[in-house]
Each structure stands twice: as structure tokens, then as C-alpha cells.
Amino acid sequence: MRQILFTLFALAYAASAAASPFPNGDPKLGQKLATEKNCNACHIQKFGGTGEKIYTRAERRVTTPQKLAAQVSACNTNLNAGWFPEDEEHVAAFLNQKYYKFK
């Protein structure tokens, strides 16, 4: 019985990780990275308010997980954030979890 429960848990965990568009991303680490680089300052400059409008506006450019990854990469380059690809995935995982909800 114990083995069956363990197997079911492992399968459920694997299925949830596989469903994530950023399976190796850690949203908590992504939030820390985005905060450290003050990403929101640029968003406020462009969109005013709290800067969150960049994520919630009707005409947003990011409409797929691939576009989100590309946008995070572009911001990394434009801001000289110095993130490695795994850092970009963490940031994308954070943004996806908080705003986009891509599956």
C-alpha cells in the first residue's frame, strides 16, 4: 500500500512539472531576481502606476510561454541584468505564476 501511494504521488508530481511551461524555474527565486534588478522601474517609466499594467493590458505582446521567455531574455539583454538562462527561466516562472497563468 505504501509503495502504491508513493508511486501515485511521484506520477502526480511528474505530471504537474511536465505541464508547467517553465519546469526548471523557481518562481520565488525569479521574484528575487526581478526585484534585485528593479525591473519594475522600467515598467513604471513606460506604463505608469505600479508598472503592473505591462502584464495586464489588453494589447500585451506576451501571449504564449515562448513569447514570455523571449521577452524576459530581451529585458535581460536591454538592462544588462547578467542573468544566465536558468535565471531567465526563474523570472519567467515567477511572471507566469503571478500574471500569465500559461499551462
Amino acid letter for position 56? T
Indicate the pTM of the whole model.
Answer: 0.81
Domain boundaries, the chain: 21-100
Amino acid letter for position 97? Q
Task: Give the residue ranges of the chain where pLDDT is below 50.
Answer: 5-6, 8, 10, 13-17
pLDDT at 3 (0 to 100): 65
Burial label, 87 (beta-carbon count in 10 A; 0-12, 13-18, 19+)? buried
pLDDT at 4 (0 to 100): 59
pLDDT at 20 (0 to 100): 87
